[in-house]
Amino acid sequence: MDNLKEIPTQQQLNGYQHFTIAVIPGDGIGPEVTQQAVNVLDAIAQKFGHHFNYNYCLMGADAIDKTGTPLPNETVSICSKSDAILFGAIGHPKYDNDPSAKVRPEQGLLQLRKRLQLFANIRPVATYTSLHHLSPLKAKKLVDVDFIIYRELTGGIYFGEKKTDAAQTWASDECIYTKDEVERIAHLAFKAAQKRRKKLTLVDKANVLETSRLWRKVVKDMASQYPDVELNFLYVDNAVMQIILNPKQFDIILAENLFGDMISDVASIISGSLGLLPSASIGESNALFEPIHGSFPAAAGKDIANPLGSILSVAMMLEHLKLFKEAKLVRDAVDWTIQNLFVTKDIDPVNFYFTSTVGELITEYIHGRVTGVFNQENVELRKSTII
Ligand code: IPM
Ligand code: MN
């Protein structure tokens, strides 16, 4: 019977493929940006003859409201069986203002990362010439900025033992890393550097922390396996400064969990809007794709959030599924909207388009229905039917 699996189906012979995608819309603006990302996947499916089967599931504040827990078992089971997971955003103000809340939306995401062992979080940072004016950095510093942060995602202080006494007069968070945990992500980072400009920077605090000294030793010992990659080290306090002062010096940045979290937010400032940045979280058997922005509760339901972080996460998903032509078309479509300033309010507060309009323009581009001649009247009205 096992042999049957090896016989390609007619669909595979045609190059058409079938994928199961777990979709977690989550909280705040999560559902509306995810909807646009799903529309983009649908457009890709139609254009290339693939089939994406979506399994929707709950996580975060949405899941707490509906089930009492931020990560229902059903979500873990659906996600673990999927070819890829598309996730929106997590977090709700009612928990942010209550630090003592025992059940918190973020626990859902942290537990999912841990249970599926999504140990490598990959966050590319790029800039767009037409958006240089949005960056707080001078335009000349933005030219040729193109780096990727590899953040360890399932270890360190995030997951160490947490303690406090009953009277809350002290608290502690343990930070532990094993050699294996460092090696598995460092291999991915070295390999990524080999395919790019061959430069790897480890960000740590090895002048103070034992865990950072372990990271340095392990990564240094691995360097001989990647002789073509130039390896260097930066203390995290210096790294955040360098990312702002001279971002083009970086190619691949490797960091442990907490430092990676912080430097990726700093790095997002460079591109001009947090809403533009995608990410992938990869493990041995599963992979999750999400924009790096949060749930932006103030914008929820208003159709004003930027869907590009989520749509570019779809491009990363397609690359992960080895659908490279398809991913390239999504990226071209996104570039086209940015170049023509068909952008949301975070990018152009005056002449902005709605979340759904930007999504629709991208799907139209994918279908090849964009002619380059726009109906100026509709453009002025910010209508989706501008083409
Ligand atoms: C991120 C987020 C999460 C993190 C939060 C929501 C737990 O900030 O994905 O960067 O700290 O990892
Ligand atoms: Mn973060």
Per-residue pLDDT tens for 339-377?
A: 999 999 999 999 999 999 999 999 999 999 987 656 555
> How far is it, in rounded angstroms, from Cα 52 to Cα 46?
10
Rounded to the nearest angstrom, the distance between the alpha carbon of 293 and the centre of ligand 2 is 8
Q: Which pLDDT belongs to residue 101?
A: 81
CB of 265 within 6 A of ligand 1: the answer is no
Rounded to the nearest angstrom, the distance between the alpha carbon of 6 and the centre of ligand 1 is 40
Q: Which pLDDT belongs to residue 15?
A: 77
What lies within 8 Å, CB to CB, of 3 at 6+ separation is: none
CB contact at 8 A, 375 and 386 = yes
Q: Which pLDDT belongs to residue 204?
A: 98
CB of 131 within 6 A of ligand 1: the answer is no
Rounded to the nearest angstrom, the distance between the alpha carbon of 110 and the centre of ligand 1 is 8
The residue length of the chain stands at 387
Q: What tens-digit pLDDT sequence spans the chain (387 residues)?
A: 444 445 555 555 567 899 999 999 999 999 999 999 999 999 999 999 999 999 999 999 999 999 999 999 999 999 999 999 999 999 999 887 777 788 999 999 999 999 999 999 999 999 998 899 999 999 999 999 999 999 999 999 999 999 999 999 999 999 999 999 999 999 999 999 999 999 999 999 999 999 999 999 999 999 999 999 999 999 999 999 999 999 999 999 999 999 999 999 999 889 888 899 999 999 999 999 999 999 999 999 999 999 999 999 999 999 999 999 999 999 999 999 999 999 999 999 999 999 999 999 999 999 999 876 565 555 555 555 555
Q: How far is CA 126 from CA 206, 306, 312, 335, in A?
A: 28, 16, 12, 12
Q: Which pLDDT belongs to residue 97?
A: 76
> How far is it, in rounded angstroms, from Cα 287 to Cα 310?
15
Report pTM: 0.92
The 10 Å Cβ neighbour count of residue 73 is: 10
The 10 Å Cβ neighbour count of residue 208 is: 12
CB of 173 within 6 A of ligand 1: the answer is no
> How far is it, in rounded angstroms, from Cα 235 to Cα 237?
6
What lies within 8 Å, CB to CB, of 376 at 6+ separation is: none
Q: Which pLDDT belongs to residue 229?
A: 98
Nearest ligand 1 atom, CA 113: 12
> How far is it, in rounded angstroms, from Cα 197 to Cα 174?
36
CB of 348 within 6 A of ligand 1: the answer is no
Name the DSSP letter for residue 159: T
Residues involved in catalysis: 158, 205, 237, 261, 265
Ligand minimally distant from the alpha carbon of residue 106: 1
CB contact at 8 A, 58 and 67 = yes
Domains of the chain: 1-119+283-387 (3.40.718.10), 128-273 (3.40.718.10)
248 burial (CB, 10 Å; 0-12 / 13-18 / 19+) is middle
> How far is it, in rounded angstroms, from Cα 122 to Cα 182?
15
Bridge partners of 24, per DSSP, are 87
Q: Which pLDDT belongs to residue 10?
A: 57
> How far is it, in rounded angstroms, from Cα 367 to Cα 364?
5
CB of 90 within 6 A of ligand 1: the answer is yes
Atom 10 in ligand 1: which residue has the minimum CA distance?
Answer: 261
Ligand minimally distant from the alpha carbon of residue 121: 1
> How far is it, in rounded angstroms, from Cα 189 to Cα 282?
12
Query: Scanning the structure block, which residue is given the tokens 């659908």?
Result: 323
Name the DSSP letter for residue 249: G
> How far is it, in rounded angstroms, from Cα 250 to Cα 232?
10
Q: Is 53 helix (H, G, I), strand (E, B) or coil?
A: strand
Nearest ligand 1 atom, CA 290: 9
Query: Scanning the structure block, which residue is given the tokens 């400064």?
Result: 241
331 burial (CB, 10 Å; 0-12 / 13-18 / 19+) is middle
Q: Which pLDDT belongs to residue 387?
A: 54
> How far is it, in rounded angstroms, from Cα 294 to Cα 300?
11
> How far is it, in rounded angstroms, from Cα 263 to Cα 253?
10
Ligand minimally distant from the alpha carbon of residue 70: 1
Atom 7 in ligand 1: which residue has the minimum CA distance?
Answer: 106
Pocket test for ligand 1, best of 24, 95, 110 (most atoms within 8 A of CB): 110
